[in-house]
């Protein structure tokens, strides 16, 4: 899929101070409270998922936030963690990559992007069972994420 020819829909999450741009055809879903401070969930079809979190944090850097997330996710069976410093939401942020290898499911690769605004961390999580096909679109979604 060519990201330059995609029609994008801007979804403003006004009460939370952010906006996400989704490709046409993606569907927003209600948050799942058991996931914690989730404020938006979306899917682009089977195996393609997006989640936006907003959480209070005592961390002074996105690296610290990502490190805390690694601790939690590793206890849930996620592995192969890697972090990079990237531009996200108009500022310096952190990208965390990881994989879930579930016995009866295909491997699911994910990325979470972190930005800070004051005592609050924003996290955009994207994931796919078919990373090679979906990575360009998922990266384009991350590139368009806004703090409002």
Q: Which residues contact 105 (CB under 8 A, 6 or more apart)?
A: 129
Q: Which CATH superfamily is domain 3-147 in?
A: Mog1/PsbP, alpha/beta/alpha sandwich (3.40.1000.10)
Q: Could you tell me if 99 and 109 are in contact, meaning their C-beta atoms sit under 8 angstroms apart?
A: yes
Tell me the mean pLDDT in the region 11-26: 94
Q: Which two tokens stand for residue 143?
A: 């590139």
Q: Could you tell me if 123 and 53 are in contact, meaning their C-beta atoms sit under 8 angstroms apart?
A: yes
Q: What is the pTM of this model?
A: 0.92
User: What pLDDT is recorded for position 118?
Assistant: 92
User: What pLDDT is recorded for position 59?
Assistant: 85
**Residue 2 pLDDT greater than 80, yes or no:** no
User: What pLDDT is recorded for position 146?
Assistant: 97
1 pLDDT tier (thresholds 50, 70, 90): low
Q: Could you tell me if 94 and 68 are in contact, meaning their C-beta atoms sit under 8 angstroms apart?
A: no
Quick: pLDDT tens for 69-124: 999 999 988 999 999 999 999 999 999 999 998 767 778 899 999 999 999 999 99
Q: Which residues contact 63 (CB under 8 A, 6 or more apart)?
A: 83, 85, 94
Q: Locate the domains of the chain by residue range.
A: 3-147
> Rounded mean pLDDT of the chain?
92
**Residue 5 pLDDT greater than 80, yes or no:** no
């Amino acid at each position: 899929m060519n990201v330059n020819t995609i029609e994008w829909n801007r979804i403003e999450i006004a009460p939370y101070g952010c906006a996400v741009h989704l490709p046409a055809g993606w569907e927003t879903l209600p948050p799942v409270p058991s996931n914690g401070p989730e404020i938006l969930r979306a899917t682009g079809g089977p195996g393609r998922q997006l989640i936006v979190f907003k959480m209070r944090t005592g961390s002074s850097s996105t690296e610290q936030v990502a490190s805390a997330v690694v601790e939690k996710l590793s206890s849930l069976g996620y592995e192969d963690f890697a972090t990079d410093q990237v531009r996200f939401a108009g500022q310096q942020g952190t990208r965390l990559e990881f994989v879930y290898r579930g016995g009866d499911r295909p491997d699911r690769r994910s990325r979470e992007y972190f930005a800070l605004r004051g005592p609050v961390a924003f996290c955009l999580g994207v994931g796919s069972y078919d990373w090679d096909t979906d990575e360009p679109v998922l990266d384009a979604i991350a590139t368009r994420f806004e703090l409002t």
